[in-house]
């Protein structure tokens, strides 16, 4: 069993914000794989199905971003999924919009959702798919992260969500190292 976790905040006011790109990529992956995210449990919305031949559960924590760890701990414990088989998809300020990075482990990098997951699992060796949202040109980080994509970003957003789903699929099917080799140099602008 593989576990794919999309991070975001619940509520319509957050639905199309940069901080919710983890939700958006996970939803794109679920749609592409025919996995309905309609079951309620483990403090999230989830569905289980097959991605290629890998049995995979996709979950969107319903605990707000900063408390994502409780959901991830609950579902991974119940389904007996070890951290190396968990893929967490989240936004990353340090990557420009349109870039991605896959890592096998590491720290939280200032991301409160990842910090909470590390604390809840008491482990750092889960896989992360970081989707770049860039740093703010003006205003606060909070305003940028909780803000909506600008018009230039919105024109490319669907392509980025597709690329994120491709990267997540590659992690599940081909393994982390192969996916890192393929997607860690990905630049949306070079693939238009």
- Tokens in use for 143? 């305003």
pLDDT number for residue 88 = 98
* Mean pLDDT, residues 74-92 taken together: 97
pTM of the model: 0.96
* Mean pLDDT, residues 104-116 taken together: 92
* Chain mean pLDDT for the chain: 95
What is the total count of domains within the chain?
1
Domain that holds residue 45: 2-191
pLDDT number for residue 161 = 98
- Distance of alpha carbon 45 from the chain centroid: 14
Residue 192 in this model has a pLDDT that exceeds 80: no
Residue with the larger pLDDT of the pair 191 and 36:
36
Residue 133 in this model has a pLDDT that exceeds 90: yes
pLDDT number for residue 191 = 80
* Mean pLDDT, residues 146-151 taken together: 94
* Nearest alpha-carbon partner for 141 in 180, 109, 178: 109
Segment 153-165, tens digit of pLDDT: 999 999 999 999 9
At residue 56's C-alpha, the angle toward residues 148 and 113, to 5°, is 40
Residue 42 in this model has a pLDDT that exceeds 80: yes
CATH code for the domain in which residue 38 is found: 3.40.50.1470
What is residue 106's three-state secondary structure?
A: coil
Residue 190 in this model has a pLDDT that exceeds 90: no
**Backbone dihedral angles phi then psi of residue 103, each to the nearest 5 degrees:** -135, 150
Question: Known catalytic residue: 108?
Answer: no
Residue with the larger pLDDT of the pair 162 and 192:
162
Segment 46-55, tens digit of pLDDT: 999 999 889 9
């Amino acid at each position: 069993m593989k576990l794919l976790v999309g991070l975001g905040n619940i509520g319509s006011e957050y639905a199309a914000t940069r901080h919710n790109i983890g939700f958006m990529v996970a939803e794109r992956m679920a749609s592409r794989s025919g996995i309905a995210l309609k079951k309620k449990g483990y403090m999230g919305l989830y569905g289980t199905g097959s991605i290629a031949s890998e049995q995979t559960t996709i979950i969107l924590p319903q605990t707000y971003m900063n408390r994502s760890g409780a959901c991830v701990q609950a579902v991974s414990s119940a389904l007996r999924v070890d951290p190396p088989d968990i893929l967490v998809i989240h936004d990353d300020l340090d990557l420009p919009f349109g870039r991605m990075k896959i890592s096998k482990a590491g720290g939280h990098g200032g991301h409160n959702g990842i910090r909470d997951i590390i604390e809840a699992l008491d482990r750092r060796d889960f896989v992360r798919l970081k989707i770049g949202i860039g740093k703010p040109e003006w205003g606060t980080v909070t305003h940028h992260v909780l803000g909506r994509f600008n018009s230039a970003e919105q024109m490319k957003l669907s392509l980025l969500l597709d690329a994120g789903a491709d990267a997540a699929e590659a992690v599940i099917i081909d393994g982390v190292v192969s996916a890192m080799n393929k997607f860690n140099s990905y630049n949306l602008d070079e693939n238009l």
